[in-house]
Chains A and B, each alone.
Chain A
Amino acid sequence: MTRTIVMSSISHRHFRAPSQTDGTGQNDPPTAGAAQKPQKQLTKAERRELQERQRAAKAAQTGSSTVKQPRPTAPASSHPKKGGKGSEGPVQGRGSPSTGPSGPPNKSTKESKPTAATAAEEAAGRSRGLRIFSHFALQKSVGHVAKGDVHPAIVRLGLMFAEFKICGANARSIATLSVFKRVIQDYTTPANNTLSRHLMTHLSVQISHLVSARPMSVTMGNAIRQLKLEISGSDIDLPEQDAKDALCGKIDNYIRDRIIIADQVIQETAMKKIHDGDVVLTYARSSIVQKVLLEAWAGGTQFSVIVVDSRPMLEGKRLLSTLAAAAIPCTYLLLPALGCVISEVSIVLVGAHSIHSNGAIFSRAGTALVAMMAKQHSVPVVVCCETYKFSEGVRLDSFTKNELAPPGDPFSSFPRNRSPGSLVIQNQPNLEILNPLYDLTPPSSITAVVTEAGVIPPDAISSIPLALGRLV
């Protein structure tokens, strides 16, 4: 089990500075950087991973004449040591080094000067706004042009991530893994290299491209770490095609075991919590909650659903149309109206983006409000969540790390009966629009978490990896 890369609570925007300084010494990158890494913080596994990376980098360098393109070394590999130095901040995007901070992609490492300029600009902009919000990095529009040896499928996926065409922790992980299968199949090991060592660096480039499109989700981080483990463990003597097939098989297994079958188990367990005559309240749209509701309805349970929704994404509308199509009686309301209905609710079912070892749930912004109100009215709050969403770090509030939806109204979430002129859609002098995508529900307002390993109270979430034999 790799130790997590601890990110500073000041978060990724602030990470720009170090990555620049590193960028200057990019030619001999991970080897030099890694030496400074405080050894104390490394577990055995991580040290081994590090060594392997160093060896791979060295090998790549010596063989770089044979490699078609001068490989832009992923800044990623230099991040973890910064992260390691960082403070006791919450942990996110852990594990595989390249998944570390969602800060600058390889772009910044290549030409450090322009980045410095943009950083200065940003600093100027920051002084105008409020400093404490400065770390909510805004989405950068990811270009169609990818730096480095990025697979076209990854470029496509990056765009879909950036435009929120694919969103949701499960969807993103499945999409990423499926595309990685293609990347692996299209990959040929350069001469004087082994697949188990070189593929990793090849993947790092792909991953940092994805991260530049949208910060990595915990689920993607977990899946990628597992994949890297498999790659480094693959047999050197295996013929290349067999090794690739084996890896793709592993990916398929991961998707099947950790996501699809896990979902089915959760469905069956969570279904039993819905009884005849219940009023189920859910917030936004979670794929697993949708499955639970549809399954329960198909199973003959008579219940009604209240879908609560809110800007900026209004994802609940999609859930609503699915449920309405299945003829489930539905009520739809926006988050502020929650107080009206909460006393009539029998159970709250929500999904999660990630769960943390202190029992906190990182989920779509607004979930914490729903859980808080439900808890106050003694309505059980049940979170449906696969165990691969587990993140070992402790999160204490939704503020330290978050993601922003782009300003404007990309999800067309404003009602049509309001004239667009009366709405503030873009930043104005003294006025900034802040659309955090996630919030953190404290364990105190959660009743239980339904996982494929069973229904557990939030206090017991830290035991998930143990229960799974440290699979996570």
Chain B
Amino acid sequence: MATEPQTAAGQRPVEVLAAKLKRRQVVGSRQTALETALVLRQVVSKARFQNITQLVEIIRSVGRKLIEAQPKEHTVGNTARRLLHHVREEYNNASKGEDTACATEFSIANFVLQGQPRRQAAELKAESTLVLKENDSDDPDSFARTLKPVVMEAIQDILDELETVYDNIAKSAKDHIHSERVLSFFLFWSYSKSNAGWVSLSEIILTIGRSKTVETYLKSAAHYHKFTVIVAESGPSYGGHDMARSLSSSGISTFLVPDSSIYALMSRVSKVILGAHAILTNGGMFAVTGSLLTATAARAHSTTVMVCAGQFKLTPLWNLYHEYGALDFDDPSGVLGFEEGDLVDKVDVVNPYYDYVRPELVDVYVTNDGDHPPPSMYRLIKESYDDEDNEL
């Protein structure tokens, strides 16, 4: 119907973002999520629809296009899914009269049958004043007119969440990181003569590469405690350098080490804090390359591994097939530059963006929605998205 040309007109921002994603001009899970939410807002604000199916289809098609442009940026799809979830929720609330039949009575049988635990089910907005008239032939826009503000509000919520995600995650920082004072003895007598006494043995935290989430988390913890951060540089991007510079500039005692010394230093590390690119349904995650190595080394030393990540990184995906991380490769020049001349055409160079970290290597996910162990990621994802959106 009329929706066809209308959506086409609203396609421009979508095309622009898709191109940017393809060229990796927009990278990073939060940035892509933000951009996606903004594009969705533009599209929805211009879109014309008469019923919920059409609205859902509009959002889905945007999500599909963007995912197609860059399948490895999982937060694009997540944002679309999140919005769909909100839209359906609002719709269900408004048209409560019709399908309120959905059981509110809790039992194991219901839990299994329903398959869709809805957290918000409890807090149904009683004062839902929306009166939705779907497919009203007299006034085709009435449905859109009533639902649009609500949808816009939902998008704004998503944007707000993305804006505040770092601070919300960092809230728990002071509880997880601590510093203690202990009496330290030095074996070496002549040395200890001058230095014996109470020495602050602060916590030593290891992280790899650069994650804005981890950065904010550590900076927030630094307000309360004194601790030391070891940053592995994560070649060949060497994002650890930016991270180390940023942490040290806010007064945190920082050590920058090459990736090769992760194992050597791990025996003195009290916590490993990693960032994530995407958290998968099984509790595993995609994260910057080197994360697998770090997490495995931490496991070998029984060191706690914490992952700081926003809820928007929850991705309804399983990784059953590849240790290979996200199967996404960067250009090889960072590893073996053209200055190596004759070597370049003789050897293969592997330079992946991400590692896949298995759930058993992670102890806890610190999200803006609280701390969760890997096995409950499944539940969180079920709560955040609707099953039918797993494939957009």
Q: Are B350 and A333 in contact (CB under 8 A)?
A: yes
Beta-carbon contact of A332 and B335 below 8 Å: yes
A337 and B263 contact, CB distance less than 8 A: no
Considering residues B230, B252, B259, which has the most beta carbons from chain A within 10 angstroms of its beta carbon? Answer: B259
Nearest-Cβ distance from residue A214 to partner chain B, whole angstroms: 18
Judging by beta carbons under 8 Å apart, are B255 and A130 in contact?
yes
For B252, the chain A residues whose CB sits under 8 A away are: 430
The CA of A429 and the CA of B247, in the complex, are separated in Å by 11
Question: Is the beta-carbon distance between A365 and B268 smaller than 8 angstroms?
Answer: no
Interface of chain B residues 9 through 39 with chain A (CB within 8 A): none
C-alpha gap A332/B187 in the complex (Å): 44
Give the residue name and chain of the B residue nearest to A429 (CB). B248
How many angstroms between the C-alpha atoms of A8 and B190 in the bound complex? Answer: 13
Given the interface pairs A415-B333, A430-B252, the reply to whether A330 lies near B348 with Cβ below 8 Å is yes
Query: A307-326 toward B: CB 8 Å interface, digit per residue (1/0)?
Result: 00011100001001100100
Contacts of A439 in B (CB 8 A): 260-261, 263-264
Contact with A along B204-238 (1 / 0, CB 8 A): 10001000000000000000000010100111101
Residues of B within 8 A of A340 (CB): 289, 323-325, 350, 352, 355
Interface footprint category on B:
35 or more
CB distance from B18 to the nearest CB of A (A): 26
Residue from B190, B290, B337 within 8 A of A336 (CB atoms): B290
Whether A333 lies near B187 (C-beta < 8 A) is no
Residue contact B255 to A365, C-beta cutoff 8 Å: no
- CB–CB A129/B253 < 8 A: yes
Within 8 A of A (CB), among B89-125: none
- Cβ-defined contact, A334 with B236, below 8 A: yes
The A-contacting residues of B in range 23-75, CB under 8 angstroms, are: none
Question: How many A-B pairs with Cβ below 8 Å?
Answer: 211
Quick check: is B191 within 8 A (CB to CB) of the other chain?
A: yes
- Residue B256 CB within 8 A of the other chain: yes
B210 to chain A, nearest CB (A): 11
Nearest Cβ distance between residue B338 and chain A, in whole angstroms?
A: 8
Q: Which residues of B contact A364 (CB under 8 A)?
A: 260
A31-84: which residues lie under 8 A (CB-CB) from chain B?
Answer: none
Flag if A311 contacts B233 (CB, 8 Å): yes
List B contacts of A330 (CB < 8 A).
346-348
B351 contacts partner chain A, Cβ-Cβ < 8 Å:
yes
CB of A187 within 8 Å of the partner chain: no
A324 touches B334 (CB 8 A): no
Within 8 Å by CB of B260, from A366, A399, A424, lies A366
How far in angstroms is the closest Cβ of chain A from B294?
A: 9
A229 within 8 A of B: no
Query: Which residue from chain B places its CB closest to the CB of A126 in the assembled complex?
Result: B195
Task: Give every chain A residue within 8 A of B186 (Cβ-Cβ).
Answer: 10
Contact yes or no, A423 B241, CB < 8 A? yes
Residue A259, interface by CB 8 Å:
no
In whole angstroms, how far apart are the Cα atoms of A439 and B248 in the complex? 26
Chain B residues with Cβ under 8 A from A429's Cβ? 248
Q: Select one of B190, B249, B268, B348 contacting A332, CB under 8 A.
A: B348
Q: Flag whether B196 is at the interface (Cβ < 8 A).
A: no
CB contacts (< 8 Å) of A424 on chain B: these are 241, 244-245, 256
By a CB distance below 8 angstroms, the chain A residues around B182 are: none
B248 near A311: Cβ-Cβ < 8 Å: no
Chain A contacts for B130, CB-based, 8 A? none
With most chain B CB atoms within 10 A of its CB, the pick from A18, A132, A332, A397 is A332
B309 at interface by CB-CB < 8 Å: no
User: Are B258 and A311 within 8 A (Cβ)?
Assistant: yes
B262 close to A (CB within 8 Å): yes
By the criterion CB–CB under 8 Å, are B264 and A440 in contact? yes
For the complex, count residues of A whose C-beta is within 8 A of B: 68
Which of A132, A416, A431, A433 is close to B339, meaning CB atoms less than 8 Å apart?
A416
Query: Which residues, 408 to 425 on A, are CB-close (under 8 Å) to B?
Result: 414-418, 422-424
Question: B351 — nearest CB in chain A belongs to which residue?
Answer: A337
Q: Are B264 and A438 in contact (CB under 8 A)?
A: yes
User: Would you give the shortest CB distance from B360 to chain A, in whole angstroms?
Assistant: 11
Query: Is B356 part of the contact surface with A, judged by Cβ < 8 Å?
Result: yes
> In the complex, are the beta carbons of B188 and A10 less than 8 A apart?
yes
B92: shortest Cβ distance to chain A, in Å?
43
Q: Given the known inter-chain contacts A320-B343, A342-B323, please indicate yes or no for A336 contacting B235, CB distance below 8 A.
A: yes
A116 at the interface (CB under 8 A from B): no
Q: A226 near B: Cβ within 8 Å?
A: no
Residues on B with beta carbons closer than 8 Å to the beta carbon of A321: 340, 342-343
B251 within 8 Å of A (CB atoms):
yes
Question: With contacts A129-B253, A369-B262 known, is A339 near B292, CB below 8 A?
Answer: yes
B131 adjacent to chain A (CB < 8 Å): no
A130: nearest chain-B partner, CB-CB: B228
How far apart sit A343 and B334, CA to CA, in the bound complex (Å)? 24
A130 near B293 (CB under 8 angstroms)? no
Question: Shortest distance in angstroms between B260's beta carbon and chain A's nearest beta carbon?
Answer: 3
Residues of A within 8 A of B190 (CB): 17-18, 21
Q: B297 is contacted by which of A129, A369, A397 (Cβ under 8 Å)?
A: A369
Determine if B325 and A339 form an interchain contact, defined as CB atoms under 8 angstroms apart: yes
- Contacts of A394-409 to chain B: CB distance below 8 A: 397-399, 402
A131 lies within 8 A of chain B by Cβ: yes
In the complex the two chains form, is B334's CB within 8 Å of A431's CB? Answer: no
Q: Quick check: B257 and A436 within 8 Å, CB to CB? A: yes
A residues less than 8 Å from B335 (CB atoms)? 332-334, 415
A329, A337, A343, A366: residue with the most chain B Cβ atoms closer than 10 Å:
A337
A9 touches B (CB below 8 Å): yes
Give the docked Cα–Cα distance between A332 and B349 (Å). Answer: 5
State whether A337 and B350 are in contact (beta carbons under 8 Å apart), knowing that A321-B343, A376-B296 are contacts in the complex: yes
User: For A430, what are the chain B residues with a Cβ–Cβ distance below 8 Å?
Assistant: 247-249, 251-254
A9 B187 Cβ-Cβ under 8 A: yes
Question: B336 within 8 Å of A by Cβ?
Answer: yes
Q: A131-B199, A310-B235 are in contact. Are A324 and B254 (CB under 8 A)?
A: no
Q: Tell whether A373 is near chain B: CB-to-CB under 8 Å.
A: yes
Within 8 Å by CB of A418, from B238, B251, B257, B346, lies B238
Interface assignment of A3: CB less than 8 Å from any CB of chain B: no
Shortest Cβ gap from B188 to chain A (Å): 5
Contacts of B350 in A (CB 8 A): 331-333, 337, 340-341
B334→A368 contact, CB < 8 A:
no
Query: Does residue B242 face the partner (Cβ distance < 8 Å to A)?
Result: yes
The contact of A365 among B248, B264, B334, B348, by CB within 8 Å, is B264
Q: Say yes or no for A175: interface residue by CB 8 A criterion.
A: no
Residue interface bits A65-108, CB-to-B below 8 A is 1, else 0: 00000000000000000000011000000000000000000000
User: How many angstroms from the CA of A337 to the CA of B204 in the assembled complex?
Assistant: 25
The distance in angstroms between the C-alpha atoms of A317 and B341, with both chains bound, is 12
Complex Cα distance, B206 from A133, in Å, reads: 14
Query: For the complex, what is the distance from the CA of A287 to the CA of B81, rounded to whole Å?
Result: 55
- Once the chains bind, are B253 and A334 in contact (CB under 8 Å)? no
Report B's interface with A, CB cutoff 8 A: 186-188, 190-191, 199, 204, 208, 228, 230, 233-236, 238, 241-242, 244-245, 247-249, 251-265, 267-268, 288-290, 292-293, 296-297, 300, 323-325, 333-337, 339-340, 342-343, 346-352, 355-356
**4 nearest A-B residue pairs (beta carbon):** A336-B290, A366-B260, A431-B248, A439-B264
- Residue pairs across A and B with Cβ atoms less than 8 A apart, 23 shown, are A10-B187, A10-B188, A87-B187, A321-B342, A331-B349, A335-B259, A338-B293, A339-B289, A339-B293, A339-B356, A340-B325, A368-B263, A399-B265, A415-B334, A416-B339, A422-B241, A422-B242, A430-B254, A431-B248, A432-B254, A434-B265, A439-B264, A440-B264
Mark A residues whose CB is within 8 Å of B.
Answer: 8-10, 14, 17-18, 21, 86-87, 129-133, 310-312, 317, 320-321, 324, 329-343, 364-366, 368-369, 372-373, 376, 397-399, 402, 414-418, 422-424, 428-436, 438-440
